[in-house]
Structure formats: C-alpha cells, structure tokens
Amino acid sequence: MNRPITLATVRGISVRITGGWCVLALTMTAVLALTLFQPAFPRHERWALWTVAAFCAVLVQLGVLAGALARVALARRCGVSARDLVLHVLGGLTQLAGEPRRTRCRVLLHASGSLVEGALGGVLLAAWAASGRAETPLSAALLWSALVLEGLAAVGMLPVPPFEGAGLLHAVAMRLLGVGPTADRLVAATARMTSLALLAFSCSVIAYTLTRSPDLSFAAFIHPLAAPWLMLAGLHGARTAGRPASIEHAHRSRLAA
C-alpha cells in the first residue's frame, strides 16, 4: 500500500492507485452485490447483478477521480503545478507543489473536488429520474451512486485531514487571523473535535447495525461501507490533526466510499 501503482497519465499528471484503493473497490462491489442487488432483485442472474455492482463502484471512483482532476486544473490556473494524483482508501490525494497566494484561489481549490462530486451526483440523480424511477438494477445503481457521490461531497467539507474541509478552514483562518500559530491551533482543535465526532458516530452506526435487523432502505445498504470508512477517516484525522503539514496540504477528493 505504500507503493502506489501508476494507472495512467492524464495531461502530464500521473494517476496512481494504492493497495487500499483496490481493496476498497473490491469490497464495495462485493457488499453491493450481496446486500443490495441480490436481495432486491432475486429473479435476476447473479453475474448480471455483480456486473451492476461493479458498475456502481466504477461510477463512484470516476467521480472521485473527476474531482481530483478538477482540482489539478484549478491549481494550474492559479499558478501552482501538480506532481501526481494518488487514489487511496480515503479518496484522491492531489500532490501540489505549493499553495496559491490568493485566498480566493485557495478557497476554490479546496472546495473544487466536493463541488464536482456533488455536481456529478446531481447528474446521476437526474438520469435516475429520467429513467422513470423504474425498479431495475440499473436504476438502483444510478440512485445509489448518486447518493454516495452527494455524501462524499458533503463529507469532503468536514475539517478533517485529508478532506478538503481542513484546507478550506485553514485558508479562511489564515485570512482572518493571519499566518501563524493561532490559525494552526484553531484548525488543529477543530480537526480533533470533528474526528472524535466521526468516531463516535461511526461506532454508533456499527453498533446499531449489528444489534438491529437491517431493513430494505438504501440507508441500511450504505451503512456497511460508510460506517467503517468514516471510522477510518476519524482515526486518520485524530492522528494527523496536530500536524501543520497535514492541514496545509490536505487536498482530498472522498470515496467513498
């Protein structure tokens, strides 16, 4: 997992994946096939349902990649070069050479990934509505992928490294409080509290899921993936919240998932 594999090169940017990302993609496919599509569509062939589940995983990861590439494009317009892009278990890490000098560019840069993910989620929701909300595996795939991308866009705004919200809060804090330890302490304290809240919430969801019989709602299908992922994000945020480098260069684009 410490040695990402180069997947492709897009406009001079190396797109690489980690072992954690591969595990996440495979887990997402398996969980969707076993807990969403097979119980909801028992009359369909299993291979077809697994194919649709893999389609969901691809849609979500393409949304994550699109958000990261949008951030690279915006960084270049702001005069900051990008070295590479790494897709990992918590999303997409865009490794930039520095930060834009203007606060406006910094804010847009840190919000761009979530904005793109939210926009793509809206497109998928529109496609689901245009399909007549039919009770088919493909329609369910569109709806689930849209909900996940919208969720990733929202979670990406949390002030927890490596989510974009940490960099966004840091940019605003430096604008209001100036460059110095005061802004760093504010961002670090906010990141710690948010990380602890994520841990508490995810543990509560896991405990509820284990003690209650899951119903057939979409929320119940998202839980097996969302809760452990949020717990991992909370642990990572609590461990790195006090490091200025992790806040200054917290460039994330959310998986989901």
Identify the pLDDT of residue 254.
35
Query: What digits encode the pLDDT tens for the residues 193-203?
Result: 888 888 888 88
82 φ, ψ to 5°?
-115, 135
How many other C-beta atoms lie within 10 A of the C-beta of residue 128?
21
Query: What digits encode the pLDDT tens for the residues 43-92?
Result: 889 999 999 999 999 999 899 888 888 888 888 888 887 777 888 887 77
Model confidence at 124, pLDDT cuts 50, 70, 90, reads very high
Query: What digits encode the pLDDT tens for the residues 4-57?
Result: 777 777 777 778 888 888 888 888 898 888 888 888 888 889 999 999 999 999
Cβ density class 36-56: b for 16+ within 10 Å, e for less: bbbeebeeeeeeebbebbbbb
Radius of gyration of the chain (CA): 19
Q: Kindly report whether the global pTM for this prediction surpasses the value 0.85.
A: no
138 φ, ψ to 5°?
-65, -40
Residue 156 one-letter amino acid = G
Query: What digits encode the pLDDT tens for the residues 149-191?
Result: 998 888 888 888 778 888 888 888 877 877 777 877 888 888 8
* The pair of three-digit structure tokens given for residue 191, joined into one six-digit string: 């990141």
Sheet holding 82-88, edge to edge: 5-10, 13-17, 82-88, 91-96
140: helix, strand or coil: helix
How far is C-alpha 71 from the geometric centre of its chain's CA atoms?
Answer: 14
Model confidence at 241, pLDDT cuts 50, 70, 90, reads low
Name the H helices within the chain.
19-32, 38-40, 46-77, 103-130, 137-155, 164-177, 181-211, 218-240, 244-248
Identify the pLDDT of residue 247.
37
Residue 55 one-letter amino acid = F
Model confidence at 2, pLDDT cuts 50, 70, 90, reads low
**Cα–Cα dist 44/230, whole Å:** 32
Alpha carbon distances (Å) from 253 to 86, 106, 150, 200, 249 = 10, 15, 12, 23, 13
**Cα–Cα dist 248/251, whole Å:** 9
Q: Is 169 exposed, middle or buried (0-12, 13-18, 19+ CB in 10 A)?
A: buried
Residue 85 one-letter amino acid = L
